[in-house]
Amino acid sequence: MPAPVRETLSKRERLCAKKDIEELFSKGRFGVSGCFKYCVRMDNGQDVHRIMISVSKKLFRRAVRRNLLKRRIRESYRRLKHTLPEGGGLDILFIYNTKEILPYSEIFGCVGNILRKTGNGDKR
């Protein structure tokens, strides 16, 4: 019996190096979808897709609420990352820009829309 596939979000899938973040901002394309603003860089030179999540302190002063939203966004991405095409990694920055805490189902839908757009090569 084969071992079950773990759908985790590994350290390699997180965008955290300052140089890589600067490249994302300089070479990436920005867009808006639902409750998110996002930035996508098509070819990051890696074999893995990487993400970064931002929830503004101006919108949510309490860290508990910011962390809740980050967990929901991360889980949505984790469950949908298999929809992205294989080969040639993407760098994606998700910026949450709504003043209210949306339920997980709405966040899941917004993240799905962004991944569909970026997976098809749409750079808007």
CATH code of the domain in which 43 resides: 3.30.230.10
Note whether residue 124 is domain-resident: no
What is the percent of the chain where pLDDT is above 90? 66
Residue 65 lies in a domain: yes
Model pTM?
0.87
Model pLDDT for residues 60-78, shown as the tens digit of each residue: 999 999 999 999 999 999 9
Say if 21 falls within a structural domain. yes
Owning domain of residue 49: 16-119
49 occurs within a structural domain: yes
11 part of a folded domain: no
Kindly state whether residue 1 falls inside one of the protein's structural domains.
no
| 8 inside domain | no
What is the count of structural domains for the chain? 1
Report whether pLDDT(87) > 70: yes
Q: In this structure, are residues 15 and 91 in contact, taking their beta carbons and an 8 Å threshold?
A: yes
Q: What is the bridge-based pairing of β-strands 91-96 and 50-55?
A: parallel
pLDDT score recorded for residue 89 = 86
User: Rounded to whole angstroms, what are the CA distances from 43 to 39, 95, 98, 121?
Assistant: 13, 20, 29, 11
